[in-house]
């Protein structure tokens, strides 16, 4: 089909103008508008011959990213310019020097940060993990780098439909694993919610569509309920003279799905499907008082659940979130969450730290600065393994906070679940290293004691105390973990130096020159991951040096006398070795890789995939290819951290072999119910059972049955039949 280039150019110009009109937070001075137009012209020229997977001109992407930056995050002219140019240095002939010459040093610095995030890095570590580290490095220089990157990721997620399924899964997993938590940590609630929902849409399309359909069906009932529920509150607020707005909003699709998974309940049993938000138009000095007045009015009409009161006005979250939350009982017996906040708090809740620039209050600025300082501290330990770094950092992204006090009354914010030792490191590194114990509210407690909000903590120290390996089991903060690991590593290096001397002496005794030694062969033989580990274990006496007699020098190089069997695996482009297989084994059920070959594989025990499940292959270090379901509990981590080791996999239809699958059955206990269930499985459907166990408690039974099925269709039919049995309330597949 021939493309009308003139018409296309006009549409691109219209998209650019629409972006400019949406830029309410941008100061539209003649100078700013001229610079933005210039950035658009440069980007248009640079990308003019490029099209996206969907077939549309590439320039639509930077325009859309710029629009998200200004309309949804509230950024200004500099960010719009950088968003329009964000892919030019990486993908076109434009250089950073060109950007600096045309637009300035700050713009060049931000685009450099964005380009660094996308650099190709060493394939021996996770590409995504290294990128994440680079994101944090650039974030500590200018927060706009990560805000533009998040806008870029959001637009990519919105337009993921034209990509191949395996790419969709990798991008969605990475989004859920890294970018949604980062949006949350920066206080971008709307963006975090949409990123989670879009990821779920890719990963669990059936569950996503089911929740959307049910939300649409119940929308009218919800609207009517919210109207009736809020009516007395509305009247009372009007009588009090307060200016306000009331909104009723459903929970995000992802949070509903998450609750269904965690509590193992259907959609209908998720009790808090929506929340009521009261937004007050208050003067800054009256915000706190007005919020508590509104709380008083709400609880005059509805009984609150005291355990569910959350006061983030007196002690805001680390990401700047301020709000008062309470859960109250409605006249119909339904719990409703009510959120009370001011207009300023609402804007910060939706747009995060970007909104803080609008409200130039010292407290808000310093809270953001504190977090940036924390990030700089995290990055000081550059030797940490990238994946380990992410796991530690991620731990603090979503966590709720607690607030504890020093003996002098200074308040410290820590993640929920933090120990007394975390507190010691939060106050000062030296205090943590020499921490012997703690007094909490004047009572002596161990280092592992889990702190609660309001605790007053005094740290006891001794110069003889040193960090121990088991400390890592109960610290929660990244700072504490990093400092402990750094100390242990230094100690390990000293011990390893001693081990190296012992090993050198032993080789001297065996008359083997040290320069002839192949450390890789020794590491492989003794199953250690690094030379330092090898030397450390030698010093600790954990390695039997008598085994060195099994080595000999050949052609001037130390080698084992008998070959050590190694396994060949593939990470990137290397050829996968296929084992000899007998016809009719389960290994003939799948085709793997871009060329869809029949290669050797194993089914992962963490999710027990069966034919019909959507699956992917994962190349392990020691066990060849493992096949996982895309819904596997480990899928997000594997797809986001090790995308380069993930390969396509697809079931073949020709075989009819039996695969194990687990079924959980819940229902009302009655005479003969177990017999009826086994009759349906064995006699009606002719399905073989491997194991069966039933447990009854207070008239309710729960059964676990392991059956042999051919594929997911076979299993679905079995579940449908079992659901029809009188007394059975729920039947579901389980992975174990």
Give the global pTM.
Answer: 0.64
User: Does residue 541 sit within a domain?
Assistant: yes
Active site residues: 90-91
Q: What's residue 573's pLDDT?
A: 33
Half-sphere exposure of 700 (CA within 13 A, CB side): 4
List, for residues 169-191, the tens digit of each pLDDT value: 888 888 888 788 878 877 788 88
Distance CA 472, CA 484 (A): 7
CB-based contact 70:76 (threshold 8 Å): yes
Are 668 and 621 members of one domain? no
Are 12 and 138 members of one domain? yes
Are 238 and 286 members of one domain? yes
List, for residues 59-99, the tens digit of each pLDDT value: 999 999 999 988 888 788 888 999 999 888 888 888 889 98
Instruction: pLDDT band for 36, please (50, 70, 90 cuts).
Output: very high
Are 16 and 137 members of one domain? yes
pLDDT value at 447 more than 80: yes
Domain final residue, candidates 339, 363, 387 = 363
Total domain count, the chain? 5
Are 230 and 333 members of one domain? yes
CB-based contact 434:462 (threshold 8 Å): yes
Q: What's residue 119's pLDDT?
A: 47
Are 219 and 359 members of one domain? yes
Distance CA 630, CA 460 (A): 49
User: Does residue 73 sit within a domain?
Assistant: yes
Q: What is the mean pLDDT of residues 343-358?
A: 70
Instruction: pLDDT band for 361, please (50, 70, 90 cuts).
Output: very low
What CATH number has the domain bearing residue 307? Answer: 3.30.460.10
User: Does residue 392 sit within a domain?
Assistant: no
Are 97 and 220 members of one domain? no
Distance CA 488, CA 433 (A): 11
User: Does residue 388 sit within a domain?
Assistant: no
Q: Which residue range is the domain that position 246 belongs to?
A: 211-363
Domain final residue, candidates 629, 651, 673 = 651
Of 228, 267, 233, 232, the C-alpha closest to 250 is: 267
Top mean pLDDT of 86-90, 351-355, 369-373 is at 86-90
- Only one residue has tokens 């706009």, namely 144
Are 686 and 635 members of one domain? no
Extract the tokens encoding 163: 């990509």
User: Does residue 195 sit within a domain?
Assistant: no
Distance CA 595, CA 591 (A): 9
Distance CA 36, CA 66 (A): 10
Are 14 and 148 members of one domain? yes
CB-based contact 317:295 (threshold 8 Å): no
Residue 636: C-alpha distances to residues 200, 481, 622, 633, 639 (Å): 11, 24, 21, 7, 5
Distance CA 707, CA 664 (A): 11
pLDDT value at 654 more than 50: no
- Only one residue has tokens 């402990």, namely 484
Domain final residue, candidates 628, 651, 674 = 651
Instruction: pLDDT band for 356, please (50, 70, 90 cuts).
Output: low
Instruction: pLDDT band for 2, please (50, 70, 90 cuts).
Output: low
User: Does residue 475 sit within a domain?
Assistant: no
What does the mean pLDDT of the chain come to?
78
User: For the chain, how long is the longest CA-to-CA vector?
Assistant: 96
Distance CA 678, CA 650 (A): 32
What CATH number has the domain bearing residue 24? Answer: 1.10.3210.10
What CATH number has the domain bearing residue 706? Answer: 3.30.70.260
Q: What's residue 517's pLDDT?
A: 62
Q: Please, which residues have CB within 8 angstroms of residue 533's CB and are 6 or more apart in sequence? A: 496, 523
Instruction: pLDDT band for 373, please (50, 70, 90 cuts).
Output: low
* Cα 173 off chain centre by: 8
DSSP letters along 135-194, please? HHHHHTT-HHHHHHHHHHHHHHHHTGGGS-HHHHHHHHHHIIIIIHHHHHHTT-HHHHHH
Top mean pLDDT of 46-60, 150-164, 265-279 is at 150-164
Are 230 and 347 members of one domain? yes
CB-based contact 394:133 (threshold 8 Å): no
Helix 127-139 × helix 143-158 angle, to 10°: 140
Q: What's residue 659's pLDDT?
A: 74
Are 136 and 233 members of one domain? no
User: Does residue 58 sit within a domain?
Assistant: yes
pLDDT value at 582 more than 50: no
User: Does residue 427 sit within a domain?
Assistant: no
Are 9 and 158 members of one domain? yes
List, for residues 220-260, the tens digit of each pLDDT value: 888 888 889 999 999 999 999 999 999 887 788 998 998 88
List, for residues 122-171, the tens digit of each pLDDT value: 334 445 555 555 556 655 567 788 888 899 999 999 998 888 888 888 88
Instruction: pLDDT band for 566, please (50, 70, 90 cuts).
Output: very low
């Amino acid at each position: 089909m021939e493309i009308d280039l003139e018409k296309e150019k006009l549409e691109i110009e219209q998209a650019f103008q629409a972006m400019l009109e949406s830029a309410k937070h941008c100061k539209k001075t003649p100078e700013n508008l001229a610079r933005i137009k210039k950035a658009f012209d440069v980007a248009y020229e640079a990308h003019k011959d490029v099209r996206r997977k969907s077939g549309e001109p590439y320039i639509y992407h930077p325009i859309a990213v710029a629009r998200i930056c200004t309309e949804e995050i509230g950024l200004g002219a500099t960010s719009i310019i950088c968003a329009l140019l964000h892919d030019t240095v990486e993908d076109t002939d434009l250089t950073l020097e060109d950007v600096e010459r045309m637009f300035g040093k700050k713009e060049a610095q931000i685009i450099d940060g964005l380009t660094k995030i996308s650099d190709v890095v060493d394939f021996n570590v996770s590409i995504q993990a290294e990128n994440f580290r680079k994101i944090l490095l650039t974030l500590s220089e200018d927060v706009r780098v990560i805000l533009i990157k998040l806008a870029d990721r959001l637009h990519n997620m919105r337009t993921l439909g034209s990509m191949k399924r395996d790419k969709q899964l990798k991008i969605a997993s990475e989004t859920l694993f890294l970018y949604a938590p980062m949006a949350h940590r920066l206080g971008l609630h709307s963006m975090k919610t949409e990123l989670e929902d879009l990821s779920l849409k890719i990963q669990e399309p059936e569950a996503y569509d089911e929740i959307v359909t049910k939300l649409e069906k119940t929308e009218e009932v919800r609207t009517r309920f919210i109207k009736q529920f809020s009516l007395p509150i509305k009247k009372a607020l009007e009588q009090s003279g307060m200016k306000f707005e009331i909104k009723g909003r459903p929970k995000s699709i992802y949070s509903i799905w998450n609750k269904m998974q965690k509590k193992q309940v259907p959609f209908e049993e998720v009790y808090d499907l929506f929340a009521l938000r009261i937004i007050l138009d208050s003067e800054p000095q009256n915000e706190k008082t007005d919020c508590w007045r509104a709380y008083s009015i709400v609880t005059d009409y509805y009984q609150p659940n005291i355990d569910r009161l959350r006061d983030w006005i007196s002690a805001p979250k680390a990401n700047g979130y301020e709000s008062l939350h309470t859960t109250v009982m409605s006249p119909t017996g339904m719990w409703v969450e009510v959120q009370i906040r001011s207009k300023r708090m609402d804007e910060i809740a939706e747009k995060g730290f970007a909104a803080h620039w609008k409200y130039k209050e010292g407290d808000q600025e310093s809270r953001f600065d504190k977090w940036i300082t924390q990030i700089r501290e995290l990055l000081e330990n550059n030797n940490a393994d990238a994946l380990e770094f992410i796991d530690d950092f991620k731990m603090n992204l979503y966590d709720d906070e607690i607030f504890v006090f020093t003996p002098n009354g200074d308040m410290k914010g820590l993640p929920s679940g933090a120990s007394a030792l975390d507190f010691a490191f939060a106050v000062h590194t030296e205090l943590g290293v020499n921490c012997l114990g703690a007094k909490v509210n004047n009572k002596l407690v161990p280092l592992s004691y889990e702190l609660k909000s309001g605790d007053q903590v005094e740290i006891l120290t001794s110069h003889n105390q040193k960090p121990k390996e088991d400390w890592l089991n109960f610290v929660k903060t990244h700072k504490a973990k990093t400092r402990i690991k750094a100390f242990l590593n230094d100690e390990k290096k000293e011990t390893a130096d001693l081990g190296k001397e012992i090993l050198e002496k032993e080789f001297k005794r065996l008359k083997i020159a040290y320069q002839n030694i192949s450390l890789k062969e020794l590491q492989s033989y003794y199953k250690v991951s690094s030379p330092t580990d090898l030397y450390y274990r030698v010093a600790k006496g954990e390695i039997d040096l008598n085994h060195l007699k099994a080595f000999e020098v050949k052609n001037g190089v130390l080698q084992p006398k008998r070959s050590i069997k190694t396994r060949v695996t593939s990470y990137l482009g290397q050829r996968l070795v296929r084992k000899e297989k007998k016809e009719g084994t389960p290994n003939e059920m799948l085709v793997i890789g871009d060329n869809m070959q029949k290669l050797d594989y194993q089914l992962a025990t963490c999710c027990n995939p069966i034919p019909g499940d959507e699956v992917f292959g994962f190349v392990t270090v020691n066990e060849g290819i493992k096949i996982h379901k895309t819904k596997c509990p480990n899928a997000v981590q594997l797809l986001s951290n090790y995308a380069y080791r993930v390969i396509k996999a697809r079931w073949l239809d020709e075989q009819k072999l039996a695969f194990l699958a687990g079924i959980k059955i819940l229902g009302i206990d009655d005479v003969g119910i177990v017999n009826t269930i086994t009759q349906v499985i064995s006699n009606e459907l002719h399905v073989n059972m491997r194991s069966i166990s039933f447990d009854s408690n207070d008239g309710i039974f729960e059964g676990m049955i392991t059956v042999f099925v051919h594929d997911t269709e076979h299993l679905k039919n079995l579940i449908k039949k079992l659901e029809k049995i009188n007394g059975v309330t729920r039947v579901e597949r389980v992975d174990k």
